[in-house]
Structure 1
């Protein structure tokens, strides 16, 4: 049996998307998902998503990590599935859809290649020594660094992700360098188990952690550079809760095809 698929990328974070609106998802073969995401023996992607119908929302997003396991919220994946829904004619300029962490609102550009995705509110940021730990739909560890371009993100990120504190449930590890007019971020993602070109929930967590670190309140806008391009984050912060959080960036169709 052949499956039609679409490949999207958001700031270099790439995903396989499958239209599953005609029937509910059941009996997902996790090994098949992992094989499809494999960069040498499959299509290659950081994750795979099914878009399904929902009677109360425009659609529902089901996200699987590259290791084949069902994942937590993926911000760039959320932006890409919004672009996919527009491509399919399910939505036009805006949408309300359901993801694993609850409902999300998003607006999309006329050409379908820029998406502003509303993320969940966040009221809790913990500390792990000098690092910040918070959940923006997925759990994140945020550490400030200098000379980030030369950091061995794979080794250092992996050592944190698998240390005694986090190895059982896993955590995404973000390193950030403040460049003045923007933040430079690199991320080691659990489920991918490698550095990725971007992480949407990760850069959202970084922007929040840096706002807290710098005691910056009010309406905050942050420009972020990742290996795959530029992303913008904005939110309201009253010193306690981050609200009206938007993850803004590109979401582009790369190619489409069929796979057995």
Structure 2
């Protein structure tokens, strides 16, 4: 069975998109998602995106990280899907409905309202999420924010010098975060400008993380470090995040289609070979 796919990216955070809105797709298992995402033996991507019909919205977007785990939200993929759809639309995700609006070369996405309660992050036990009394080596006192998926944000002098490749997986899997967590390290670059690196839950270091940019901008605004709108510079490029207390998060930035192709589902349905 040949399956068409679209390879897309937002600031280098790349996706394989399977469009099942008009014709049903085979059941996507974690094993198949992991095999498709493999950069040596598969198509290769940070996330596999599956579009399918929805009972409540125009369509549903499902997101599988490269480790095969399904997650609630992906800001960069949302912009790519907006570009692919080509018109304003509200869609269903596991993290809640989001509104997409394509722009020239990218999109604006209403990511919904951030959540700050400890059990909405979620954390394993009650704790003030504004300045958490925890730390891992040089990373201390993070803020926790849920923007459809969970994030811990650390503000540091220089985000580029933090050994995120070693601290990221330790924090991601800490028992404090029962659903694991995305780890963000940010430094102040101006009154409305942040530099950010992200260790993504289930994907590792990526060129850009849209939900990470949203969570980090919200955290910086709450702490009085920056003013909205905020330019967030990631390794792959810039996003612009606008948020006012009590409102929803608006994220704007580029997205692009790289190429299209097809693959034989049977080659990946069983997952990676041992």
Interval of TM-score (by shorter of Structure 1 and Structure 2): 0.7 to 0.9
- Structure 1 residue 177 corresponds to structure 2 residue 169: no
- Which runs of 5 or more structure 2 residues have no equivalent in the other structure? 118-128, 134-140, 265-274
- Which runs of 5 or more structure 1 residues have no equivalent in the other structure? 87-91
Find the partner of 2:162 among 151, 159, 163: 151
What value does the CA root-mean-square deviation take over the aligned residues? 1.8
The match for 1:190 is 201
- Structure 1 residue 225 corresponds to structure 2 residue 233: yes
Find the partner of 1:211 among 211, 221, 231: 221
The match for 1:132 is 143
TM-score, scaled to structure 2: 0.84
- Structure 1 residue 247 corresponds to structure 2 residue 251: yes
Q: How does 1:62-101 map to 2 (within 5 A)?
A: 62-86=62-86, 92=87, 94-101=88-95
The match for 2:109 is 117
Q: How many residues align?
A: 244
The match for 1:89 is none
Offset of residue 226 of structure 1: 0.2
Offset of residue 24 of structure 1: 4.5
CA contact under 8 A between 2:115 and 2:147: conserved in structure 1? no
TM-score, scaled to structure 1: 0.88
CA distance in 2, matches of 1:56, 1:123: 23
Offset of residue 45 of structure 1: 0.7
Offset of residue 28 of structure 1: 2.1
Offset of residue 25 of structure 1: 5.4
CA distance in 2, matches of 1:8, 1:222: 25
